[in-house]
Structures are given as C-alpha cells and as structure tokens.
Amino acid sequence: MLRRLAVAAIALAAVGGGGIATYLNSSSKPLPVAADPGVAPAAPLNDLAAVSIDSSQGMAVLDDGWGDSEQAADPVERRMVNLGRGETLMQVLLDANVPQPNAHEAITALRAVYDPRRMRTGQPIEVLFDRTEGNGKFIGFAFQPAVERSVAVNFDGVRYQAAETAKKLQRRAIAVRTNIDSSLFESGRKAGVPMNVLTNLIRNYSYDVDFQRDIQPGDGFEVLYEQLVTEDGDVANGAGEIIYAALTLSGKKRAIYRYEDGEGIVEYFSAKGESVRKALLRTPIDGARLSSGFGMRKHPVLGFTKMHKGIDFAAPTGTPIYAAGAGTVDEVGPKGSYGNYIRIRHNKEIATAYAHMSRFGNGMRRGARVAQGEVIGYVGTTGRSTGAHLHYEIVKNGQQVNPLSVEMPTGRNLDGKELNRFKGLVANIDNQFEQGLTQPEGIAMVSAPASAAVKPRARGCDKKHGC
C-alpha cells in the first residue's frame, strides 16, 4: 500500500495542474483543495485505493481500485492469432488457451453458417476472453473470410451461437486500355484485369478470333467491367459483368457491348447491333497453341504423308474442352486411333468431333444435350498420339472441313425499337469508358447484394438463344 501511495505521489508531481491536483495523505479523508473559480469542485475521494493516474487525464476512479481505465471500460480481451499452414481451427483455439470442450462447441456452432475447412492459411482470427471472470473465460471468436462479409461465434450465457454479417456492395465500373505485348491474357493480368474478366472476354471473342494467329505486336484491347466494392472502398473477390470490350487487331477495332433486351436476354453485340455469338466457337479450348493445321501432312506416328482432317491444339493434360456449339451428343467413348472421342450433332448439317481426351465431362452420354461452352472433356493423349493435345473436327454433310476457314452462321441481329434502344446505350457506354480512363478509382454505379461477390451472375441462357 505504501509503495502504491509513493508511486501515486510521484505521478501527481509529474502531472501537476491546479484543476486536477489532489493532495494525498494517510487519512481516509482528503485534505481541502484550493478552489478554482473556473472549475467545479471535485467530488471527495473517500478511498485512496480507488485512485488511478493517467498521464493525460489525471485522476480517475475505478471499480477495481487500481489498474488501467481502458481495461475497466472493455473487459473483453482480444487475442489475434493466424491459421498456420496445415493447422485446423481447433488447433489454433487450443494454442490460444481455449479449453477443448469450449473450442469444440464453438466450432460446431460455426458450421451452421461457415465450413471451417474453407479457411485459408494465414487467416487472422480474433479470439475473445471475458476478463471479469478470473484468468478470462473464452466467449467466442471472429474472422473475416472476405472483405464483404464477417463471421462471429459468441457465447450468449447458455451456448455458443454463430452469425454471418454481409456488407453492402456497390458495382463500380473500371476502364482499362493497354497494348498486347505477348498474349492478351498476360497483358491483361499486367494491367490488373481480373482473371475471370479476361476469361469471359476471350470466350466472347472466340467466335471470330484465333488467339494463336490473329494477334500481332502492336495490337491492343480495351475493357470496361464492373468491380464489386464495399462502402469502405474495399474490393470484393471476383468481378461483375463486362460492359464493353474492344480488340484492335492489325489496326482494325472490334468492339462489343453488353445488352439486355426487353425479354431479359443478355448478349454481346457489335456496334451495329449484330450478335457476336455464332453457332460454333472458333476454338473450343482456352489458351492452347495451334500445333497442326488442316490438310496433307507427314503423320508423326505412322511416318508417311496423310490427310489431317482436323486441327490440333497442344495443351497440358487436364485442360478443359468446351462444346463448340449447343447440340446433342451423337457418339461418346473410345474410338480406335482417336482415343477417347465425342461427336456432337448441332443440326442436320453440322457436327463437331473431339479426340484424344484424358477423360469425359460429367453427364457425357449418347443423347445428352449440351450447351455451347459447356465442358465436355479434358485434354489428354489417348489413342494414336505423341503428346497431350485436342484433335478438333467440323463435319459438314458428312465430310470434315477446315474449322479455321468454314463460315460460321451468325446469331440474331437487333432491329426496330430494340436497335434504337441499343444504339443509345452504345453512346452512353462509350462516354462512360472515356470518363473511366480519367478516374483511377472508377465510376460509382448501382448498389449490389453482397451475394454478388460470392455467386457472380451467370450468363443469360434460354431455349431460344442458347447459352
């Protein structure tokens, strides 16, 4: 007690100030204090054990008689821990001195709103203890799996309960213009364009552009896409729709615009209102290298000159293969030198074939309906093959034709009121893109539900227009 009084006296001498100074002695009653006309008289301090010193605020009265005023105001102790490589949430809680029964009950509660197995290495976790009870009672934990939502488990006095809180999101338009140095994908990543935006951009141009042969040094691209952000300005995972994009190839600009018609069908159109969608994709695989063209060639296995009735795309084993168009599976299974093989009938005239697959996609069976862009299998080297690649054929009236030169039937064209409405949208989007280039933070748009960051809106599909 004497030691405490000495420390308090030294602190008072260091603080000073007539408005806050109180004289200390061994009596239980304080000595009179000279009144300051401009300051209300201080309340009497009847117990020296109830005095604390704060270097900036002077005296304070605490319930515990001695300690930190901040601790008294917030009895919850917060310990920050991180999920280590190979660790489980249970291990982290036990290492933070949480009793095993309490940790088990809290994690069980968590599973009602979040699967702890989804937690990533390095995830910060705030573990909470109530200091008012002895050494501290475990009362829960909280973490933020993504910027748009947080998860907390709290003890309500009877049991542990979990809750997930979602932040309100906004869609913000981001404009990018850049040159293509090597590939569109690599240049886009350097410019900060999200991967799913680049993938969708490539897919929308795959009807007309051969990304292995058509892109030359000096070409470039533009894109205006939606970014999902919280009210605090934090960027959520994923990205929204592409609003506008343009490829400039050999000096020729090819622009596409997202448009939702009066029936709610979403498609991409050229500036003239022509759908970019074709009956067939030009290349049914992303990022692959054209390794062999259509025509006569020396066969790499047989060693003699032979007609090559398709084109080959070299790609690693397991690379997804997409249906070039909507249709019905005509044939599926092993087929001699083709290895694992699928043929899709698109109409009475045209079919496409895919060979050397390592395995088939889910649901691939004869008679199954497939949508354009659906994964039907994966690259492999089955059958007569010297390496992993896709052999792709277009069969027209029973004869294989060159996939790179065949004319692809076009999709629908806008007309009438729809075309006029679309042209007005094009003018607005062009202005929006130019404006976005001058604003690094993008252009604020409409609000969006937090779920948009978790489950991005799917491409528009219907029976009339396909997917």
Chain segment 45-104, per-residue pLDDT in tens: 333 333 333 433 333 333 443 444 444 456 888 989 999 988 999 999 999 999 999 999
Q: How deeply is 46 buried, as exposed, middle or buried, from its count of CB atoms within 10 A (0-12, 13-18, 19+)?
A: exposed
In this prediction, residues 306-331 reach a mean pLDDT of 86
322 in Cβ contact with 313 (< 8 Å): no
| Res. 3: pLDDT tops 80 | no
Q: Which residue has the higher pLDDT, 361 or 202?
A: 361
User: Which residue bears the tokens 């997930």?
Assistant: 164
* CB count in 10 Å sphere of residue 91: 13
pLDDT band at 267 (very low <50, low <70, confident <90, very high): confident
Name the token pair of 159: 């049991």
Q: Which residues pair with 138 in a beta bridge?
A: 129
Lowest mean pLDDT across 9-23, 89-103, 165-179: 9-23
Which pLDDT value is given to residue 239? 65
pLDDT band at 305 (very low <50, low <70, confident <90, very high): low
Chain segment 174-197, per-residue pLDDT in tens: 889 888 887 788 888 888 888 888
**Amino acid occupying residue 433:** F
Chain segment 346-380, per-residue pLDDT in tens: 888 889 999 999 999 999 999 999 988 889 999 99
| Res. 220: pLDDT tops 60 | yes
What's the mean per-residue pLDDT of the chain?
Answer: 76
Which pLDDT value is given to residue 217? 80
Q: Which residue has the higher pLDDT, 148 or 343?
A: 343
Tell me how many degrees the CA angle 23-28-34 measures, rounded to the nearest 5.
30
Q: What is the pTM of this model?
A: 0.51
In this prediction, residues 215-234 reach a mean pLDDT of 84
Q: Which residue has the higher pLDDT, 43 or 252?
A: 252
